[in-house]
Structure 1
Amino acid sequence: MPSLSISGAYHVLTRRKPMEDTTESKLAKVLSAFDLTALGIGSTLGVGVYVLAGEVSKVYAGPAVVISFLIAAIASIFAGLCYAEFGARVPKAGSAYIYSYVTIGEFMAFIIGWNLILEYAIGGASVVKGLSTYLDKLFNYAMRDYLSKNFAMNIEGLGDYPDFFALIVTVLFALAIAVGAKESSRLNNVFTFLNLSVVLFVIIAGLFKVSLSNWSIPKSAVPEGYGNGGFSPYGLTGIIRGAAVCFYGFIGFDCIATAGEEAKNPKKSIPFAVVTSLAMIFLAYFGVSTVLTMMLPYYEQDEQAPLPHVFSRYGWWVAEYLVTIGALCGLCASMMGAMFPLPRIVFAMASDGLLFKCMGEISQRFKTPFKGTLITGVLTGLLAAIFKLSQLVSIMS
């Protein structure tokens, strides 16, 4: 008898979702390959393109940051091809959760599903908190000063004040996502287009001030503590360490797979979107890092805001403002990329009976998991409202 109960428990934990159950869909199939590609680019590129190149070039790799990005891109392509294969075979909402359910079993899928929920919820909260902090900084921290004075939270482990702006923005994004996949995709397309336009402007404008001599600076001209000069001042070790940091700049394309159930032709559009988005992301990182390290010696780069710093050195204040606009659009696109997959994961788990059934209900009007989207949006907003950005980042890492 005990052996039967153990056997039964093992069967329950490892039972798989039949492949034939993945063919029907209650969601509207409205997303094209272009929409999926923009979703992947927006979610992955974000503001990393405005930050990573400066940090990696100055601290880890020097001008060889371009090689670091290439190594990171190759590693990401291998992961991306796996997602492309799974997305074509199992075109269902849920990404890694549904893939695990079909191939490994229910228990592992449950664990992975909750990991994805936490990843997207905390990731979305981090992005909107970053957006709130960035805007507050532009206005000399007026919001922080007012809220700290009138709504101070003297609770250990939480933020100094409730960030109502972050909560409101998150709920608004959740509403935009809830009213339809196509509508939210159009909004994301706008943010992504503006972000890529600014990146393209940075690359083209920077080409007028590049100097190959910045890739071959002699050791005698390099300040102490910044390597040996040349193209790879920190050697192969620095390039590899830089690649490890650059890899974080390619995280996020997996959100494409969560939209598989809403794709018009998932078997073709998901592989195309994954590969295309990763290729375009690499070109953006490669172009920005090339221009950046040719415009200014690697040891003079700013780790926090390299592009505004290098443009300010040349007195291009218009470019500084454009970079700010691009960063804001990048944050909005990243937020859309974090919040769009979350209700899809919840919907998939609720449909399989692993979460409350109400979370998996589809709106007849909008053809989206309306309740699940709003609930997850409010919870994400609350995380952003009560925690500091540093705390959210620490949880993510």
Structure 2
Amino acid sequence: MGLLFHFSKLFRKKSLKYEDLGKTKLARVLTLLDLTLLGVGSTLGAGAYVLSGKVASQTAGPAIVVSFFVAAVVSVLAGLCYAEFGARVPRTGSAYVYSYITIGEFVAFIIGWNLILEYAIGTASVARAWSANFDSLVQFKISHTLNSTLPMNVPNLAEYPDFFALGLTLLLTALLIIGVKQSSTFNSVFTVINLLVLSYFIICGFFKADAKNWSIDKKDIPPGVDGGNGGFMPFGISGMLSGAATCFYGFVGFDCIATTGEEAKNPEKSIPISIIVSLFIVFIFYFGVSAVLTMMSPYYSLDSEAPLPKVFELAGWPVAKYVIAVGAVLIGAIFPLPRVVYAMAEDRLIFGFLANVSDKLKTPINATIVTGILSGMTALLFDLTELVNMMSIGTLLAYAFVAKCVVILRYKVKAFDTEMIVNESNQGPEMNSDSHSEPFTFKELFRPFTNMPSKRTEQIVIVCSLLLSLCTIILNVLLIYKEKDLNKFGWVTCLLAIFCIIILGLGIIIWCQPQNPDELPFMVPLVPLFPEVSAAINIYLMLKLPNSTWVRFAVWMGLGFFLYFGYGFWHSMARKDNTTSKYLPISEEDDPEDTS
């Protein structure tokens, strides 16, 4: 019984009082424009300056434009889910807070721990990308000097310590400590510069573009060069999809907008709008950059470290590399990291001193310093190729959980298992909180006895959604590891057909159940279709990543479990909190005043 008691505590939920939704120790100063530029600044970074060359030359070839499109679709579906939660819960912490309220503490910790990994690696990769671009401006003197004087011949570490990337990360950390509005202004300025630089590359690059580079014959590939089979998709559909899994990293960062729930003005409306707008802007630029890059040069000859300045140098425009080098400084990459740490520390799932907020600056100062040092050391020491894949696993996992949370919440009797407060003028029909008294029948799966959610319909949705996820995992495993058997009829194709039918049936059952009638400023359309498709694609992309990445991911999660069961489980605020939560989306009239 004791073991079962402790197991049940893993799923205790964060209480959320209506009167506390608008309260915050942080300064509520960010506008819709600030949030949009923050999303673009957090996302449109190393994906354009580094990944475009690496994926095109090694994984997808010219089909990188399709890889970016697939990654964009996955990100938009995930973005819609984040947008709905941003409207529901305007609190700092992003997917961590969303899952804590809906699923439970243990899942929330897993997501929060992975968000820390995501943002730390994202910050380090942007710093190293700018360092590589700057190094190319000085004829690689920095890398040559450090390689000869301080070489690091250790597996999975960088060839040399990148002190320039460390310094840049610490500088951005100092700006975050000064204040959210100041750092947001700095981010906005450099985001605009970044957009202008990439626009310059796209426009000028088209004058040097040659469409023949999208249809290179295999016999024209130089001997000893791994160029696949040539053509638009030289590494096949599998290579294009593997490229999509890596390109997905280029869209990581939009979820940082969801971490600003306590610093945004009118967060219920500004967060959803800024997420969708920023993703659209980012895709347009990624598509343009990758298209121009692969038409300016054969895909197999692209530089994997600094492709943009290098391709212009080969095209006879060396001056362009000086313009491109200034575009990758982005404070948005590090902005959400201390916010997630602050949210977890405030709940005491990690050490409480990280939740301290400066009375003068209104910023989580301890969390900012610690995470800045963590990101800086990552940029200094590690080879980011494998770490980027690790980050993708954590991000995809968070996206899948958020999508599932959207489905579960839509069909719950009460959004957060709490008393629902509604305005009398907007009060809808009373929902059935008790299970139906009659015995369960198969007919209820497709024709429920009630038009409002009940405990029974809620349980049907949860069970069907879990079964759908299990079937999706099996289906994806077959698609990935039995790809060669798909061209012929056999047991693999039969299993695929069976699981597709089961998944379709489970989706129809969920669709038939009554949804919660509560209205929000933004709601994901076509639930459960969009969230379930988003979760399925996220699972597929996770399984496409290398096995070595899963091993490193397991090590990171092992460290997290040690911290949670050694500290967080026993010190959690949810363990001490016995209050009844209340929830209602904040109206514009109820917005707290600016505390800056």
1:113 aligns with 2:112: yes
Match of 1:36 in 2: 35
Greater relative CO (CA pairs within 8 A, separation 6+): 1
Residues 4-59 of structure 1 deviation map (CA, whole Å, 9 limit, x = unaligned): x4454244322211232444222111111221121221222212212333333333
Report deviation, 1:160. Answer: 8.3
Match of 2:357 among 348, 362, 365: 362
TM-score of the pair, normalised by structure 2: 0.58
SS in 2 for 1:232: coil
1:99 aligns with 2:94: no
Residues 91-128 of structure 1 deviation map (CA, whole Å, 9 limit, x = unaligned): 11111111111011122222322232233334434443
Match of 1:346 in 2: 341
When residues 145 and 293 of structure 1 are mapped into structure 2, their CA distance, relative to the original with a 3 A threshold, is closer
Q: Distance in 2 between matches of 1:96 and 1:197?
A: 32
Residues 206-239 of structure 1 deviation map (CA, whole Å, 9 limit, x = unaligned): 2223333443445665556535544334443333
- What letter is aligned with 1:72? A
Match of 2:469 in 1: none
Q: Conserved in 1, the CA contact under 8 Å of 2:132 and 2:306?
A: no
Q: Distance in 2 between matches of 1:167 and 1:299?
A: 31
Residues 139-185 of structure 1 deviation map (CA, whole Å, 9 limit, x = unaligned): 44458747985x89999998788765554433332221122111101
Identical aligned pairs, as a percentage? 53
- What letter is aligned with 2:366? K
Match of 1:380 in 2: 375
Q: Distance in 1 between matches of 2:309 and 2:110?
A: 42
When residues 217 and 119 of structure 1 are mapped into structure 2, their CA distance, relative to the original with a 3 A threshold, is closer
Q: Distance in 2 between matches of 1:311 and 1:158?
A: 30
Q: Distance in 1 between matches of 2:294 and 2:161?
A: 40
Match of 2:274 in 1: 273
Report deviation, 1:187. Answer: 0.8
- Residues 196-275 of structure 1 aligned to structure 2 (within 5 Å): 196-217=195-216, 221=220, 223=222, 226-275=227-276
- Residues 1-397 of structure 1 aligned to structure 2 (within 5 Å): 3=1, 5-6=2-3, 8-20=5-17, 21-132=20-131, 135=134, 138-139=137-138, 140-142=140-142, 145=145, 165-217=164-216, 221=220, 223=222, 226-326=227-327, 330=328, 332-333=329-330, 336-385=331-380, 387-390=381-384, 393=387, 397=549
SS in 1 for 2:262: helix
Q: Conserved in 1, the CA contact under 8 Å of 2:71 and 2:244?
A: yes
Q: Conserved in 2, the CA contact under 8 Å of 1:136 and 1:144?
A: no
Higher helix share: 1
Q: Conserved in 1, the CA contact under 8 Å of 2:130 and 2:325?
A: no
- What letter is aligned with 2:359? Q
The alignment yields a C-alpha RMSD, in angstroms, of 3.2
TM-score of the pair, normalised by structure 1: 0.84
When residues 122 and 155 of structure 1 are mapped into structure 2, their CA distance, relative to the original with a 3 A threshold, is same
Q: Distance in 2 between matches of 1:315 and 1:277?
A: 34
Structure 1, 307-316 or 211-220: larger mean CA deviation: 211-220
Q: Distance in 1 between matches of 2:234 and 2:283?
A: 22
Match of 2:491 in 1: none
- What letter is aligned with 2:31? S
Q: Conserved in 2, the CA contact under 8 Å of 1:203 and 1:288?
A: yes
- Give aligned pairs, total: 386
Report deviation, 1:390. Answer: 4.9
Q: Conserved in 2, the CA contact under 8 Å of 1:126 and 1:392?
A: no
Report deviation, 1:365. Answer: 1.8
Q: Distance in 2 between matches of 1:390 and 1:345?
A: 22
Residues 170-204 of structure 1 deviation map (CA, whole Å, 9 limit, x = unaligned): 33322211221111011111121111111101111
When residues 211 and 122 of structure 1 are mapped into structure 2, their CA distance, relative to the original with a 3 A threshold, is closer
When residues 154 and 56 of structure 1 are mapped into structure 2, their CA distance, relative to the original with a 3 A threshold, is closer
Report deviation, 1:292. Answer: 2.2
Q: Conserved in 2, the CA contact under 8 Å of 1:126 and 1:393?
A: no
Q: Distance in 2 between matches of 1:146 and 1:59?
A: 27
Q: Conserved in 2, the CA contact under 8 Å of 1:179 and 1:370?
A: no
